[in-house]
Every structure is written in C-alpha cells, then in structure tokens.
C-alpha cells in the first residue's frame, strides 16, 4: 500500500480531478506521503482523505496539497513560505519544485516531527521554525509566494507584508458555513483575491507563548 504503484494511482486520481501541472503531479508521486503520518495510518496515506497527525492537526488530502502547490507554481517562485507546516509533507512537495521553502509550525512537538521527517529525506532546502504563522519568517521576507494551511474568518493580513509585490499567497478562509480556497495576488495598489473553490482545513490556532528556533 506504500509502493510506487500506489502513488501512481494517487497521481492518476489527481489528474482526473483536474490537476494539470505535470511537475506538481511528478513531485506528488516522488514524495513518500506514508512517512508523514503515523505508521498505523501508512496504508491509507495515498487515499484522497485528510489524515490525523496528532495534537488536533491533520495532513491535508492530496488534492488540496496539489491544488495549492499548482496555484503557487503559476507564479514561478524561488522562495516559498509554508505556514502551518505540520509534519512536513507540503514542505517536501514544495522542496521538489522550488529553490527554498521557509516553513513555520506553531506546535513545538509537531514541528520537531516535521523537521525530522524532512531531514531524514534529505530536504536541505527547507528551513523550519517553531512560531506563530501570522508573523512566520518576517525577518527573511519578502517571499515570492506563500501557503497557509489553516482557515481563518478573514484573510491573513499579517502575511501579505511577507509576500513581494507580484507574488501570491494561497490559503483557506471561512465563508459562511463553508471554507473556500483563495489565492491573493499582491499588486502595487493592493491585494486581488481569486476563488479556487471549496476546501476543508483545520482552523488557525491562537498562539500560546510560541517561540522561534
């Protein structure tokens, strides 16, 4: 259930659901998703479903990871901010495609797991920090693009300042009783929002004395 053939079936399903960027599909096929969940869930890693990774957090379903990555890659970024990195899977997919990934996770124990996963797989181009996703890697900004993997009631205004003019930020927001995946494009005179469709993510958590490292 964790074989290359299983990954190929996942990729075929993503293609059938409208993911058209072949570089993204290839990266999804290369990254061993089963290593980013508990061993007991490894056989379900390539199903089209979100999976728990502990501490009330989940690994987003493959389509959402692929769609967010595809939306960011349209802007040909070199440096990408990954907010809410969790166990590191989204960062790994991005690391296959861009020059550097700057990941931040609020929960220290989950961040430790994510950092270990990425180091174990040799992703030397991922920089991992424990801290509040809203301030994230402000000292290393601006980034060409960013991803936010937790939903909020309103756009993450604090993150826009970390994205360069001409870049984009992709993430979920609460709209009524549903979540929508949006891409915000930072323009010289403001931010333009594009609706990429429905999605489902865990809510953005409030920091409780989070620190960076």
- Is position 91 annotated as part of the catalytic site? no
CB 40 within 8 A of CB 47: no
Tokens linked to 175: 């709209």
Peptide bond into 142 cis (omega under 30): yes
Give the distance from CA 29 to its chain's centroid: 16
| CA atoms within a 13 Å half-sphere pointing along the CA-CB vector of 2 | 13
What whole-number distance in Å separates Cα of residue 69 and Cα of residue 150? Answer: 15
Q: How large is the greatest C-alpha to C-alpha distance in the chain, in angstroms?
A: 49
- Which entry of 3, 60, 154, 211 is annotated as an active-site residue? 60
Residues labelled as active-site residues? 60
């Amino acid at each position: 259930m964790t074989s290359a053939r299983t990954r190929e079936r996942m990729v075929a399903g993503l293609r059938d659901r409208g993911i058209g960027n072949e570089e993204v599909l290839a990266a999804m096929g290369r990254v061993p998703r089963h290593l980013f969940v508990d061993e007991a869930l490894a056989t379900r890693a390539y199903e089209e479903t979100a999976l728990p990774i502990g501490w009330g957090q989940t690994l987003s379903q493959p389509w959402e990871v692929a769609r967010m990555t595809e939306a960011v890659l349209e802007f040909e970024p070199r440096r990408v901010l990954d907010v809410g990195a969790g166990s590191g899977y989204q960062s790994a997919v991005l690391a296959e495609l861009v020059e550097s990934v700057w990941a931040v996770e609020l929960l220290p124990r989950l961040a430790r797991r994510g950092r270990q996963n990425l180091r174990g797989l040799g992703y030397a181009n991922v920089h991992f920090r424990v801290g509040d996703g809203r301030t994230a890697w402000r000292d290393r900004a601006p980034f060409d693009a960013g991803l936010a993997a937790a939903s909020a009631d309103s756009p993450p205004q604090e993150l826009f300042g970390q994205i360069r003019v001409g870049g984009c930020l992709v993430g979920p927001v609460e709209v009524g009783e549903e979540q929508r995946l949006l891409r915000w494009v930072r323009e010289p005179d403001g931010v333009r929002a594009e609706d990429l469709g429905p999605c489902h993510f865990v809510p953005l958590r409030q920091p409780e004395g989070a620190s960076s490292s």
